Structure formats: C-alpha cells, structure tokens
Amino acid sequence: MHLSPSCTCHLLKQSAEFKELRNRGREIRLMLAQLYESEVELEDVFYSKALLLPNTTHPMTPVGEGCQARVVELVGEKPEFDFQPKGHLEIGEKLGIIRQKRLSHVSGHRSYYLSGAASELEHALVHFAMVKLKKRGFIAMSVPDMIKAAVFEGCGIRPNVRSSLLYKVDPDRCKDMNLAGTSEVGIAGYFMDHAVKLKDLPIKVVCCSTCYRAETDNLNEPWGLYRVHHFSKVEMFGVTAAEDGTESEKLLQEFVSIQKEMYSELGLHFRVMEMPTADLGLPAFQKFDAEAWMAGRQNYGEISSASNCTDYQSRRLHIMYEDAHSILRHVHTVNGTAVAVPRLLIAILENNQMENGNVRIPKVLQHYLDRDVIVKPSCSPQQYIGPNQYKRNKLTEF
C-alpha cells in the first residue's frame, strides 16, 4: 500500500507534534519532581511552625505566669497537729511501705518501690476512682503505652523538641515510638480518624495506666514521690459535640465537680485554681488545677488538672461527629486527672499521720485495705549487704 504525498506530510507533521508534546511532557514531569520536593520542604517548615500555634483562650482566664492563678474555691480544713508533722518519705520508710534508697543500680534515679499498705493504697485509690466514674457513665478503657509521635503532636505535646518530657523507645526496635506520659494520648488516638454519632455524645472514657515522664532532672524535688518518672494515674477523657459551643465547658465543669467530690471523700483540704495563660500549654482553652494541702511539705501541691481543649486536638487528629444534618464536624475534647497515685499518697500519709508514726486510712478506702490504720509491719526490715555499705557486714558468706 502506497501513501500519497499529502498523507505522508500529514503523518510527519503528526509525528513532529507528538515528539514536541512528548518532550513537553518530560519537561513537566521534571518540573513536577522539583516542585514536589519543594512542597515537601515547605510542608515541613509550615507544619512545624503550625504546631507551635496554641488554642484560643477563654476570656475569663487570668493573663500571666503561674503566680497569677486564681483561687476559685477552698474545700475542707487544714489538718492540725500537736506535734511536728513529718514528710511522706520519712513516714513511709519508718512504716516499711516506701523505699527510695539504694535503687540506683536497680532502676535509676528517683525510682521507688511501694510495698505493703502503700501498694494496697495505690490499688485502693485506682479502684475507688474507677468504680465512681463507671457509675457516672464513663467507659473503661485500656490503651497502649507506646504511641507514635503524630498522636502526641495532635494532642499538643511535642515529642521531638529538646525539652520534651517524653521517653523515646529505641528506634532500632520501634521506629517513631514514645512512652506515654498520660493515657490522654492513647485515648485520643483511639478516636483518631473516626467519626461518632451526635446521639452518642458526650462519650466519657476512664483509663488507668502507668505514666512515664522524663522530669527527673528537676532539682527542686530530689527525693520523695512528688516528681517521679513513672507512676499510676486514672485519667478522664471526654468527647463532646460543638452544636452551641457550650458543651465542652459543661463537660469540663462536670470533670472538676467529680474531682472535688473524690478529694472531699478522701478527707483532703484542697483549693481549686483557674490556671493563667502561661500554664495552659498549647491545647488548653481553659484549665483548672486542684492543689491539696500536704502537711509534711507545709504547702499545697498539685494533685490534678482538668482542661477543655475545644477542637484543638480533634482538628489535628481528625476526630469528627455527624450532626443532625449528617454533616461531619469536629468534636471538642476535655481531659482531667481523677487519681495521680503518688501525689495522693503524699497527701494521705502526711495529713493523716499520728504521733506514733502510724497513719489513719481515709474512711472511703478502709474496706479496700480491711483496716483503718497503717501500722509498722511485724516482719524485720531487709538488711543491706551490697557493695556500698558503710561498714562491711560481718555475716559470713557461704
């Protein structure tokens, strides 16, 4: 078959246009490859800067540093003693229920052991809180201790900054994993990339977990249980709608009222503080702390916190709810401490101590321990025979 000269010319012209278009396509691909690289770089720059943006602040929040915190309420009376009250560590050591000495070769700086009544008190406090919260409509949950960095960032916690309080897991074993300093992160991760129904809101979750925090370099608290790098905590977490904008504020007040109820039942004297702007952190719109009187320290110490994060976390973690018109909207999140075990142990031991060294157990916990007073156990304390003893043990080793 022979092509006419006009057909041949047309084909050649098409071939030339094809080559030109193909070359242009290659140029576009090369341009896109460079633009994609720039896009990734720009996203990293702007995303890292966007992570620094805090939530908006409640108009009633005090402005300033920690000293500007406003006392909202004083609850209970300070305990009175006709003797000089001791600190919790001295009380615990004499009762043989707290050990913090000679552990550097076992578990490092500021670690501790709870034994006997102190361990029983830990479990009693956890059970006390879990039972109360389940009766208030909370769903019990257990969460992972190791969480990816993106979930921390979504919650407003920056895992990769130099001053981070997070412990990182060995990247050769678990890439991009961190130990959680609060179960709030794990619960938020449970709802991440999911939507819930309006009729099911608010959803209230309670979780008991071990919390890990790398804050052992703070020289203000060298001994005792006040600032340690691992502890048990019962956390409250709430997911609510944003139909009229007041739902999360009401849920925050519910959380604070639960905290007040629990600490009052434990017989504590405490104050509720509305925290100022400098103490809100990135995610909180409004935050309240409870500070209990600790007789041995002769000062108030923080025992809980409760925060309304509005839609700060849900926008970053993509947590939505389906409203009455089947439109997806961002939920609001609220979190609060129910029981931070070491801090409550301090308050209970110091405020309920007796002159003979024994400690009265709060009435609401007595049935968990089957007694009303903590006394020194009858068994003899262990005798240290390690290499750092001041005087060599004269016992013969076989």
**Site of tokens 């057909």:** 7
Does 213 show up as a binding residue in the annotation? yes
Does 41 show up as a binding residue in the annotation? no
Q: Which of 291, 126, 283 is nearest to 211 (CA)?
A: 126
Does 229 show up as a binding residue in the annotation? yes
Does 214 show up as a binding residue in the annotation? yes
Could you tell me which residues come within 8 angstroms of residue 121 by beta carbon, excluding any fewer than 6 positions away? 114, 345, 348, 361, 365, 369
353: which DSSP letter? B
List the structure tokens of 104.
């550097």
Q: φ and ψ at 291, to 5 degrees?
A: -120, 120
| 270 CA to centre of own chain | 21
172-208 CB burial, b ≥16 within 10 A, e <16: eeeeebbbbbbbbbbbbbbbbeeebeeeebbbbbbbb
User: Contact, 121 vs 345, CB < 8 A?
Assistant: yes
Q: How many CB atoms neighbour CB 221 within 10 A?
A: 15
- Write the CA distances from 159 to 86, 153, 176, 398, integer angstroms: 38, 7, 10, 50
Q: Which of 390, 305, 395, 382 is nearest to 116 (CA)?
A: 382
Gap between the Cα atoms of 110 and 227, Å rounded: 8
H helix or E strand, kind and range, residue 59: none
Does 46 show up as a binding residue in the annotation? no
Does 291 show up as a binding residue in the annotation? no
Does 322 show up as a binding residue in the annotation? no
Which residues are part of a known binding site? Answer: 182, 213-215, 228-231, 235, 302-305, 335
Which residues are part of a known binding site for ATP? Answer: 213-215, 228-231, 302-305
Which residues are part of a known binding site for L-serine? Answer: 182, 213, 235, 335
